[in-house]
Structure formats: structure tokens, C-alpha cells
Amino acid sequence: MPQRITAFFVAMLLLAPTIAEAGLTSMRGPLFESTDKARAAADELNAPLLASVSYREAVGSYERAESTFNRAGSIDSIRRYLARAEERFNKSAQAAEIAATALDSTIQARQDAFDSEAPQYSADSWYLGEKNFAEATRRLERGSIKYAQRYATKAENAYREAELAAIKANYLSETKNLIGQAEKLRAVKYAPMSLNNARILLATAETELTTNRYDTDRPRLLAMEAKHNALHAIYVSKLQRSIRDKTTNLEAVLLEWEASIGKLGAALNRSTFFDDGEEVAIENLLAGIGELQSDKNRLDQDLNDREAQVVALNTQIFKMKTMMDEVAALQEEKDLMDQDLDDREVQVTLLNVRLARMQELLGGGDQTIEELETLLEQQARHRERFARVESLFQPQQAAVFRQGDTVIIRMIGLNFDSGAAELKAEHASMLDILKQAIGVFPESRVIVEGHTDAFGSDAQNLSLSQSRAESVVQHLLASMAVSPLNLQSVGYGESRPVANNETEEGRKRNRRIDVVIQPSWVVQRSVASVQFSTAVTDDG
């Protein structure tokens, strides 16, 4: 027995730290909860940056509370430290809210510089901006708004200089190095056109950055094109030197390229020959790609039609099942009548009610079949009309495709001058064809969408796209019998690209007019859906 007691006390001594730690852990939540919430709120408002003085004071008191807690100090001391920390966190949150408004342009300049990797590429200007920004927030915390604005202006100027220097270093320095490599390889002799293009594009990008630093899309793409031209100059120079040194020859180079292009032809299941250069081969490959796209569009249309048919058939199956249930119920009622002749009158009445219900459902079944037949006829007419519209346009004029029952005409050949929204005389014939296409779907709603590439500011592109769409709408209203209620314009700016803005061809495709034709039954279906949704909401 004494040995058991001794073992018990030894075990308790060994477990004492674990028990104490568990007790402390369970106490921490209630003690720190309110202060932790205040700290999280301050962090959410970016107080460590915008109200650094009061935030640092709060963190100091919080850390003292944690230290006292961890060494099992006085609960009253912990509470005093936490109360002061919470008060400081709340103060820093309020100061951060004020700073976010008072220093908004400086904060934006700081973020732009940071996004351009200014701390890495323009450390001195970034440090100067940080120094003045910290002083501006300190002055603002003290209530000295006038001096805070002075330091904020200095910080903003430093951040903008840092951003510009970083963008130039980030976008242009690599290209400058590549041009230097090309020059060492005597690209002036072996690849003069690529080298000259690289130099011109680089100079233009640098000018764009200096004159309009807030739209970096265009200079960045110019710098990218300059880089690729420089790389091309290096490649051509090395190739020319190899030919000069007779380690290869022109025929070997061409055969290597043709073999690579031939792989694409094989993937498209098209024989590719280079009897008279690459032009015929490329046209052949483009035709193969066009066929694939047409096949995809047809498959998408068939899939949409099948989905609509499946919905209609499922509705019919449900109604048929309901009718079968009613037949079973009628049979059950008949059996009951046979068993209970004394109550025949009641049973006959019940049977008549059931028979009436059966007749009603059978009528509904006929209606469902008629609805399905109507849908199939409607789809067939829609496919015929779509094919008619598709045949109106040449491939270089427009691409026609469907999204469900909605028809979209992408006016590829309708190109505006840069920054302009006026239609040109050369657009007249294409717009005449567009009027014919709209006429194929009478009583439809037509939406003319304007789109731009990524060059220029978001606000400018949005306004330009709206103006271009409106030009097309006004032309249609003036030259065809269509209700203004069924014809509208909308601009999407650069927000809905269909191609890569990194290439000239992609940007050209993004500068487009899309004409969206919604046939009358699509509009009616949409209105019915909205009415149904509203009714459900009202009932609910």
C-alpha cells in the first residue's frame, strides 16, 4: 500500500505541468477574446501601415499580457495590459479609416509602385517614399492634417518615380541586353530588319512609359514585341553564321521548318506540301482549322437541341407516369366496387370522379405530345434560318454561331479607325447584309455589342465601345423598318476578350462588333421565367 501511494504522488508530480498547461489554455480564450477581435479589426483596416504608432503601442501591451499569462502571473495585470492593448487597437483602427480616405492617392501610388516591383528595381526612390509615407501617417495620427498632406505629397512623388524606374527596368532592361547580344553577333549585317524593329519598338515603349505611365498595357506589349524581334535577330544571325561556316545550308533549314509545320497538318489529317513555298500550305492548314471550328459549332447546336428535346420528353414521361398511377387507382376502386355491391351508388360516384380525372390527364398527354412536336418544328425552322444567315456572310466579313437559340453575328470585317466610332463608306455593303440577316428573324430583339482591345484605360475603352455600338444601331434604325424597342446598344470595353491581347491579330479580333439576335420565343421564355420567379418569391 505505501508503494502505491508513493507511485500515485510521483505520477501526479509528472502530470502537474500538463494539467497546468491545459488549465492555462482553457483560460486564454475568455481573457484574450475581446482584444483579439479588436486586433483583427485593426489588421483588416491595414492599421500596421496606416496607423503604425498606436498599433505598435497596442502590440507592446498585448505582448506584455501574453508574457504575464505564460508565466502564470497576476490575472489583474493581464487584464490591465489587455485593456490598454484593446483601447490602442481600437484607436489605430479609427486612425487607419481616416488615413485610408485622407491619403487615398498616396496609398494607390504606393500599391502601383509595389506591383511594379519598385523595392527591387528602384530601391532608393521606394525607400524615400516609405520614409515620407510613414511620417505622413504619424502626423495624421497626431491630428496635424496640413503637415500630413505635405509628407503624403512627397511620398506620392517618390512612389511614382520608383514605379516609372521599376517599369523601365522590368520591361525594358532585358530587351536592351538582348539587342546588345544581337549586335555582338553582327545582326546589323545578318538580321537588319529584326534588329531595327527591336530598336524602334523599344524606343516607342520607353516613350510611352514616360508620357503615359498609368496605361502600362501598350508599352508592356511593345517591349514584348521588341524582345521577340531581338531574339529573332539573334536566331537569324546564328543561322546565317552557320550557313556561312557551312555547318548547315538553306535547304536543311527549310526542310526542318517544313517538317514541323507538317506535324500540324498530320494532326489536322491534311497532307501538307511546300512545292512553291509556304503560302499554299498555310492556307491549307487554316482551312482545316476552319472546318474543325465549323464542326464544333454544329455539335454545340445539336447538343443544345437535344437538351431541349430531353426536357420535353422527361415532362411527357412524368405525365404518362401520373396517368398510369391513375389507371391503377381506378382498377383498385373497381375491385372495391365488386366486393361491396351494397354501396354501389357511392362507389359509382367515386369511379366517375376518377374517370373524369383520367380524361383530364389524357388530354394533358395529348397536349404534351403537341408541345414536343411544336418544339421540334421550331428547332428545325430555327436551324434553317440560322443556315440562311450563315450563308449570307463571307468568312472575312463575319462569323455566325449560336448559343442555345440565340444567334450571334461577330462582325469581323467591321473595323473602326483607332480611337474612332464613325462608320466608313467601306462598311455599307456589310451593313446591308446585316440588315438581311436581322430580317430573317422578324420580331426578334437585337442587341449590338461594342468591344475593344486592352490598350487604353478601362473608362476610355468602355465609352468607345458604347459609341461604336450606338453608331451601328443608329445606322440600322435609319435604314430599315425596326422598332427602337427591339434594337439596343451596349458597350463592354475590354472586359470580354475573345482572343489574346498580347498579339496584334488578337487585339484586332477583340476590337469588334457582336450582333446578338434573340428570337421572339427566347424573349417570351425569358419574360415567363422572370414572371414565374417573381410569383414564387411573392408566394414565399
Cell numbers that stand for 398 in this block: 463575319
Q: Report the C-alpha gap between 105 and 151 in whole angstroms.
A: 13
According to DSSP, residue 406 is labeled E
Report pLDDT for 201.
Answer: 92
Alpha carbons within 13 angstroms on the beta-carbon side of residue 311 total: 9
Query: What does the alpha-carbon distance between residue 218 and residue 115 come to, in Å, rounded to a whole number?
Result: 17
| Long-range residue pairs from 25-34, CB within 8 A, at least 24 positions apart, any chain | 28/69, 31/69, 31/75, 31/78, 31/79, 31/82, 32/65, 32/82, 34/82, 34/86
pLDDT, greater one: 16 or 242: 242
Q: How far apart are CA 431 and CA 472, in angstroms?
A: 8
In DSSP terms, 294 is beta-bridged to none
Tell whether the model's pLDDT for residue 289 goes beyond 50.
Answer: yes
Distance CA 514, CA 399 (A): 10
Phi/psi for 456 (5° steps) reads: 95, 170
Bridge partners (DSSP) listed for residue 277: 275
* Interacting residues of 46 by C-beta distance below 8 A, sequence separation 6+: 96, 100
pLDDT at 186: 92
Average per-residue pLDDT for the chain: 81
C-alpha cell at 439: 430580317
pLDDT in tens, 417-458: 777 888 888 888 889 999 888 888 887 889 999 998 888 778
For residue 202, what is its C-alpha cell?
Answer: 523599344
Q: Which residue has the higher pLDDT, 181 or 537?
A: 181
| Residue range 159-172: mean pLDDT, rounded | 82
Query: Band of the pLDDT at 295, cuts 50, 70, 90?
Result: confident
Helix (H) or strand (E) holding 409: strand 406-411
- pLDDT bin (cut points 50, 70, 90) of residue 81 is very high
DSSP 417: P
The 3-state DSSP class for residue 488 equals strand
Q: What pLDDT sits at residue 164?
A: 81
pLDDT, residue 34, reads 92
Q: Which residues pair with 446 in a beta bridge?
A: 487, 517
pLDDT of residue 6: 52
pLDDT for res 347: 56
pLDDT of residue 523: 57
Alpha-carbon distance 90 to 47, whole Å? 10
The pTM (predicted TM-score) of the whole model is 0.49
Sequence-distant (≥ 6) Cβ neighbours of residue 414 within 8 angstroms: 398, 427, 430, 431, 472, 512, 513
Report the pLDDT value the prediction gives residue 41, as an integer from 0 to 100.
95
Q: What is the end-to-end Cα distance of the chain in Å, rounded? A: 74
Of 41-55, 72-86, 222-236, 362-376, the poorest mean pLDDT is in 362-376
Residue 526, pLDDT above cutoff 70: no
Residue 131 is predicted with a pLDDT of 94
β-strands 445-450, 487-491 pairing: parallel
Q: Are 87 and 60 in contact (CB under 8 A)?
A: no
> Given a cut of 90, is residue 466 above it in pLDDT?
yes
Say what the pLDDT of residue 409 is: 92
CA–CA separation, 463 and 140 (whole Å):
38
Average pLDDT over residues 124-130: 93
- pLDDT grade, residue 82 (50/70/90)? very high
pLDDT above 90: residue 85: yes
Q: Cell numbers of 326, please?
A: 391513375
Are 38 and 86 in contact by the 8 Å Cβ rule? The answer is yes
In this prediction, what percent of the chain has a pLDDT beyond 90? 29
Please name the fold of domain 393-535.
60s Ribosomal Protein L30; Chain: A; (3.30.1330)
Amino acid 257: pLDDT:
84
Domain definitions of the chain by residue range = 2-102, 105-241, 304-385, 393-535
Q: How many CB atoms lie within 10 A of CB 316?
A: 17
Q: Is the pLDDT of residue 88 over 90?
A: yes
Whether the pLDDT of residue 44 is over 90: the answer is yes
C-alpha span between 460 and 12 (Å, rounded): 76
pLDDT band, very low/low/confident/very high, at 536 (cuts 50, 70, 90): very low
Identify the CA nearest to 89 among candidates 57, 133, 132.
57
Query: Phi and psi for 301 in degrees, rounded to 5?
Result: -65, -45
User: Which of 20-29, 162-171, 219-228: highest mean pLDDT?
Assistant: 219-228
Residue type (1 letter), 411: M
Sheet containing 445-450: order of strands: 399-403, 406-411, 513-518, 445-450, 487-491
b/e string for 274-297 if b means 16 or more Cβ within 10 A? beeeeeebeeebeebeeeeeeeeb
**pLDDT reported for residue 238:** 92
Determine which of 185-194, 326-335, 413-422 has the lowest per-residue pLDDT on average: 326-335
pLDDT at res. 530: 47
What pLDDT score was predicted for residue 116? 79
Query: Rounded CA gap, 407 and 390, in Å?
Result: 10
| Residue 55: band (very low, low, confident or very high) from pLDDT cuts 50, 70, 90 | very high
* Predicted confidence (pLDDT) per residue in 370-410, tens digit: 666 676 777 778 788 888 888 888 888 888 888 877 899 99
